[in-house]
């Protein structure tokens, strides 16, 4: 690894949407970025190619964050190969939306396993190395739905609300070693995760947003860049809302 890359960043679910925008921004800020993916290798490779075209450096790493043992193994390999992990972005997430009365256990378990257990699995894997480094930045992607709820998303809302509690507790534990743990709570962001919404539903959402527009993945990436910087070294345990005013 070239000496210019003093910070190693791992972005889970980094092959698309918010994760991709965050990976590109962290690389632009000078980090060596490991782009995690679970299925779409070509998309992850495309992100790294884009990083390198812009003059940065990165790599891909395939693992499912919901799998505890595999996550521990793969993150340890990243630490050994690249000399540490300084920045962890827990971004990987899925949805299985349906009304509670129709929701089956599989719908519940899949979302909790990826969205909430995945945050634990990845954070657990980097904790010791960050403590030895006496420096770290952990950012967990929650959601406005985890704060205000949303019909048809009890599983998703529960997973994202759980991330908030996890963030606040972990922040207290890690603060003595100069590790900050914060959450970002996006509102309605234009990504492929909401492509399935009908035009009518999208219109209804827009009408509820005081700023009158969807957010972009780059809006989230900008906040990540700040929270991972030295300027944010005294901020921990916070939930930063990036939602256009829909929930304050």
Q: Largest Cα–Cα distance in the chain?
A: 55
CA distance linking residue 188 with residue 123, whole number of Å: 26
Sheet holding 8-11, edge to edge: 57-62, 32-37, 8-11, 87-90, 136-141, 179-186, 239-242
Q: What are the backbone angles phi and psi of residue 126, rounded to the nearest 5°?
A: -100, -10
156, 205, 234, 247: which one is catalytic?
A: 156
Active site residue 37: no
CA distance linking residue 57 with residue 183, whole number of Å: 26
Q: What is the DSSP letter of 189?
A: B
3-class secondary structure, 230: helix
Looking at the annotation, which residues are catalytic? 156
């Amino acid at each position: 690894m070239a000496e210019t890359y003093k910070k190693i960043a791992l972005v889970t679910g980094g092959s698309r949407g918010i994760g991709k925008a965050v990976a590109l921004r962290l690389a632009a800020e000078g980090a060596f970025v490991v782009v995690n993916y679970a299925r779409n290798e070509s998309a992850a490779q495309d992100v790294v190619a884009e990083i390198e075209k812009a003059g940065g450096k990165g790599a891909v790493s395939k693992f499912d964050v919901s799998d505890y043992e595999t996550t521990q193994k793969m993150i340890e390999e990243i630490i050994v190969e690249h000399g540490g992990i300084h920045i962890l972005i827990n971004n990987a997430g899925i949805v299985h939306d349906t009304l509670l009365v129709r929701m089956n256990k599989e719908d519940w378990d899949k979302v909790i396993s990826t969205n909430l257990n995945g945050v634990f699995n990845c954070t657990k894997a980097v904790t010791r190395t960050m403590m030895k480094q006496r420096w770290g930045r952990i950012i967990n992607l929650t959601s406005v739905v985890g704060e205000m709820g949303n019909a048809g998303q009890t599983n998703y809302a529960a997973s994202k609300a759980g991330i908030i509690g996890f963030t606040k507790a972990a922040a207290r534990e890690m603060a003595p070693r100069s590790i900050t743990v914060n959450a970002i709570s996006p509102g309605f962001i234009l990504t492929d995760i909401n492509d399935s919404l009908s035009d009518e539903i999208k219109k209804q959402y827009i009408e509820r947003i005081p700023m009158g527009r969807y957010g972009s993945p780059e809006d989230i990436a900008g906040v990540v860049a700040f929270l991972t910087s030295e300027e944010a070294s005294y901020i921990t345990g916070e939930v930063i809302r990036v939602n256009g005013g829909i929930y304050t």
